[in-house]
Structure 1
Amino acid sequence: MGERIEDVTVVGGGDSGLLAALALQRTNPGLDVSVVDDFDRPIPQVGKSTFLAIQQILHDSLGIDEQRFVEAVQPVWKASVYFRDWCGCDPFHYPFDQRRKFPNPEERDTGEAYYFYYAELADSDDHLSKCEQLVAQGKSPWSFEPREGGARKYENVAYHLDTERFNGFLRELCLERDISLVDDEVVTVDTAGDRIRRLRGRDRAYEADLYVDASGFSRVLRGEQDAAFREFDLPLDAALNARSEIDLSEVVPATVIDTGEAGWFWQIDTSDSRDRGYVYASEYVSESEARAEFVDHCEGIDAEDVVNYEFSSGYHDRAWIENCVAVGNAEGFVEPLQSTGLTANAKASVTLATLLSGHGRVATDAVRERYNAWVERTWESIYDFVSVHYAFADGETAFWESARGLDLSPRVELLLEDFDRNGFDAHVDPTMGHSDVDEPLFFQPLDFYALIHNMGATSEFYEAHDFEIDDETRRAVERNYGSIRDDVADHYDHREFYHGALGQH
């Protein structure tokens, strides 16, 4: 027998906690949802990068009006992860429209077209997808099209968010939707085995049918439960962070990645600041050494303004135990190389809310098992993709030599073997069968293949066979990429959008 959920208490008012509250309330009308946190604490003023699905989650699943969101949060639209320097590779993008660079599998001569991509198009500055052109030309996804009634937007983009504005907006939205924001701090958790009985705060006690732990790495509730932790084989465990002011004209619409001696640097531009960081492995470099390298790498950063964070990579094998669900960093974390954290956690909350709604808000063991399996598959899919970045990283320091020895999952090993033997194939995921069945949540085979090819991997299939690219195909490709370049040239940059075009949206 299951128990019907009538009320939910979320512990933690960060982005993950507020998004969980909004998802649960929107999908389950009548559910009493409250968020408990010390809301007097200042919101961190840092930049946060997201993944492609964030727009669908915010504006469709959570029903957040896009224009209102843009006016309040003032995001920068992110078109790619731009590897400006990845262990000496030529600069390359992981754009959000990567799959559009591949030939249409329904067209003829797909094999020759794939070879064309492999041999000439993948790393050519003259053959950029629309997302890549947005970055190259410093543009937003917005343009003016009178025939379509005004402003139009290219949808294959994500967001760079200022956390202070984003979190403040989510708080406002929660209050509008009758979600209680309780200014208190949980100091004691009463349990009976793995079951949460009540929470005791500074001001009062809290009881609910379902508790959501969104307390970050503090894991206020999850720490009271018997939850096994699956640790990822990633050596990075700390990050330095600093920010500086920029003008809208300086915005780079991509998360920019550079290689460090014991990790990698990021750059995330928001509409008024440049957020920079250094994710590093403390086993190979001390904090003071990493700090010195970070300051030297970044212009305009003072050492005293740099903040250090520590983290662990992995996840709890059961996100939902008894009457408690962990979300955000309380559940798990994969290092931020592909900016999946906020997006994956938001999607997990939407999935949780949908499962509850679809089962009449009755929580059974079967519902918990289904949710836990979804979360596990999500984490493993993200780790698989992140791990490949290191397997092909050709750095020469002790850290990079060690990173190349990371454990790769059997799925990744099979994908790499398949690329070498068979080249690109949009039809089949060799690890799962047909790609339309139970496909990975974030990253599909072509994502892996394109990434490793940009990092220097070759395919014996293409190296050992001769393919001819006819002149008509070459001309069609040139016309296509030329039209993309010309189209993006007519887009607004972020300054033009915010200082004039926003009213046309």
Structure 2
Amino acid sequence: MTQNRFSIVIVGGGTAGWMSAAALARFAPPGYAVTLVESEAIGTVGVGEATIPAIRLFNKALGIDEAQFLRETSASYKLGIAFDGWLREGHSYMHAFGTVGRHLGLLPFRHYWARARASGVARPLAHYAANELAARTGRMATGISGPGIPELPWAYHFDAGLYAAFLRRLAEGMGVVRHEGRVARVIRNDAGDIAAVETDAGQALAADFFIDCSGFTGLLIEKELQTGYEDWRHWLPCDRAVAAPCEAAGPFTPYTRSIARSAGWQWRIPLQHRIGNGLVYCSEYLSDDAATGLLLSHLEAPAQAEPRALRFTTGRRAKAWNRNVLAVGLASGFMEPLESTSIHLIQSTIMRFLTVLPSGPASPAIVNEFNRRTAEEFERIRDFLILHYRANARVGEPFWDRCRDMAVPDTLAARIAEFEEACQIQPAGDELFQEPAWLQVMAGQGIEPKGWNPIADALSDDDLSGFLGAIEQACIETVRPMPRHMDFLAATCAAAPSRSPELETLR
């Protein structure tokens, strides 16, 4: 048997803890020992039930079968996020996954669309996005592509608690050792690093490295190491949420809904066995009681549990990696789930850590670069979220007036300006949200480009109209044969011998 030479203790379970444990168990080489300590008495936030397509890469890397995953987490498919009322009441647009239109020659689609829009012949972006067409018509299938349209990407809605339990079984099967208990004391060595954590039962768990998945508390990264926190509430002022699941009701949509309310927004996430609902709001403009009442008044069916309140500060730790501690999940920072990035940030942090996996004391240069890249990822997502609030036309509502009038980070101001002036969008290659995402949200939030690349003017009016029409028709033909989301999900989950009883409700 290989002697353990490097030990890692994960403090906290939930989605962050068990995603970290499963990834380490799968990819760390022989000689690494992974231990997780958690307490059943400590609840998890568990509101991150909507994901983005990158989660498929994580599941695939762990060797997870999609049908089994769908059954065991009561999951449904997701093709994008609909933003209802964010520009103004009665208006809706979608940030759909995948492409919008297609390139022609040197230029991306948006320049031709901007030119056609200025002359009144372009239709809304939804007509040129196959993912949105499928989502809006309630259709779903995998492995689908069409003429000039690459395979439609997808993600999932799932029960975060069931996902954590699923990953726990997987991780323990790969050798992760779980200890039950609360961390009552943190022991540091003479150099100031964490040497061990001690549970309330008096059990000391020593390790070379620690991963803090203790949630907002940041038991190791903040409470013990006092790393510091960068507060972004001046840009993202929502600071509370209330969540309440309800019985499955209403349309079984293959997309998340984000519905603007007077002082924040409401999410709707359809699962096989229930609907996940929540209201994110700013406590300066809405009381807790009023927020709870507002959420409950908009549920489509009776609530299945008492509303659960959450308080948070949007922002990030000054360092994700400090000494021999890495913060993952809510311990590393919080971004409201407007674009379903919570679980992705867990995934990206732990996978980035694996690329520089230490086998002893880490080089300061490696740690500094890791922290720089982590901070940059948070900041890029931050800018994308701010855009939704900043570009609104909900005039006369104090919360939305404040958001519309606020100064934004220079990085976001520059991105808005280049789109307004010349329909330019230039994200870095490693940014999470690429050109189609920025295009859909900026156009959906009412930001209009005044110009476009002059190369687009070389196309005749007839050719431009034909180009747009061909894309629209290709989207229709791609989506037409796709089955209903409900039927495709039921067939996929039934592909294995055992079937979740919840699926019977979908038939």
Asked whether the two chains share a fold, i.e. TM above 0.5, the reply is yes
Name the SS for the 1:50 alignment partner: coil
2:49–2:157 Cα contact (<8 Å) kept: yes
1:51, distance to aligned residue in structure 2 (A)? 1.7
- 1:455 pairs with 2:445: yes
1:148 corresponds in structure 2 to: none
1:332, distance to aligned residue in structure 2 (A)? 0.2
Q: Which runs of 5+ in 2 are unaligned?
A: 497-507
Q: Which runs of 5+ in 1 are unaligned?
A: 146-152, 430-434
1:72–1:169 Cα contact (<8 Å) kept: yes
1:211 corresponds in structure 2 to: 210
2:267 corresponds in structure 1 to: 266
Deviates more, 1:396-405 or 1:165-174: 396-405
1:439 corresponds in structure 2 to: 429
1:73-112 equivalence runs, <5 A: 73-88=73-88, 90-97=91-98, 99-104=99-104, 106=106, 111-112=111-112
1:235-246 equivalence runs, <5 A: 235-246=237-248
C-alpha distance in 2 between matches for 1:338 and 1:160:
13
Name the SS for the 2:156 alignment partner: strand
C-alpha distance in 1 between matches for 2:169 and 2:34:
15
C-alpha distance in 2 between matches for 1:170 and 1:96:
26
Q: Aligned letter for 2:132? A: E
**Residues 88/102 of structure 1: CA separation in 2 closer, same or farther (3 Å cut):** farther
C-alpha distance in 1 between matches for 2:87 and 2:184:
46
C-alpha distance in 2 between matches for 1:86 and 1:366:
43
Percent identity over the alignment is: 23
C-alpha distance in 2 between matches for 1:366 and 1:332:
22
**Residues 288/447 of structure 1: CA separation in 2 closer, same or farther (3 Å cut):** same
Name the SS for the 2:64 alignment partner: coil
1:307, distance to aligned residue in structure 2 (A)? 1.6
Q: Provide the alpha-carbon RMSD of the alignment.
A: 3.0
Q: Aligned letter for 2:231? A: E
**Residues 184/104 of structure 1: CA separation in 2 closer, same or farther (3 Å cut):** farther
2:210–2:325 Cα contact (<8 Å) kept: yes
Indicate which of 493, 500, 505 corresponds to 2:491. Answer: 500
C-alpha distance in 2 between matches for 1:262 and 1:269:
23
2:79–2:153 Cα contact (<8 Å) kept: yes
TM-score (norm 1): 0.86
Q: Aligned letter for 1:269? A: P
C-alpha distance in 1 between matches for 2:269 and 2:215:
22
**Residues 355/478 of structure 1: CA separation in 2 closer, same or farther (3 Å cut):** same
The structure whose residues are more often strand, as a share, is: 1
C-alpha distance in 2 between matches for 1:283 and 1:466:
47
Name the SS for the 1:138 alignment partner: coil
C-alpha distance in 1 between matches for 2:307 and 2:83:
23
1:381–1:440 Cα contact (<8 Å) kept: no
Deviates more, 1:86-95 or 1:196-205: 86-95
1:8-19 equivalence runs, <5 A: 8-19=8-19
CA distances 1:282-306 after superposition (whole Å, capped 9, x unpaired): 1111101112222223333459722
Name the SS for the 1:318 alignment partner: coil
Name the SS for the 1:88 alignment partner: coil
Name the SS for the 2:10 alignment partner: strand
Q: Aligned letter for 1:160? A: H
1:198 corresponds in structure 2 to: 196
1:5–1:209 Cα contact (<8 Å) kept: no
**Residues 63/504 of structure 1: CA separation in 2 closer, same or farther (3 Å cut):** closer
Name the SS for the 1:134 alignment partner: helix
1:214-229 equivalence runs, <5 A: 214-222=213-221, 223-229=223-229
Name the SS for the 1:51 alignment partner: coil
**Residues 465/321 of structure 1: CA separation in 2 closer, same or farther (3 Å cut):** closer
1:66-465 equivalence runs, <5 A: 66-88=66-88, 90-97=91-98, 99-104=99-104, 106=106, 111-116=111-116, 121=122, 123=124, 127-142=127-142, 154-192=151-189, 194-203=192-201, 204-222=203-221, 223-232=223-232, 233=234, 234-246=236-248, 250-301=251-302, 305-356=306-357, 363-395=362-394, 396-424=396-424, 429=426, 439-445=429-435, 447-461=437-451
1:405, distance to aligned residue in structure 2 (A)? 3.5
Deviates more, 1:368-377 or 1:394-403: 394-403
C-alpha distance in 2 between matches for 1:109 and 1:129:
11
1:486, distance to aligned residue in structure 2 (A)? 3.3
Aligned pair count? 479
TM-score (norm 2): 0.86
Deviates more, 1:455-464 or 1:222-231: 455-464
**Residues 447/497 of structure 1: CA separation in 2 closer, same or farther (3 Å cut):** closer
- 1:477 pairs with 2:472: no
1:169, distance to aligned residue in structure 2 (A)? 0.6
1:150 corresponds in structure 2 to: none
CA distances 1:440-491 after superposition (whole Å, capped 9, x unpaired): 4212355334312221112222599995653244234323322322332322
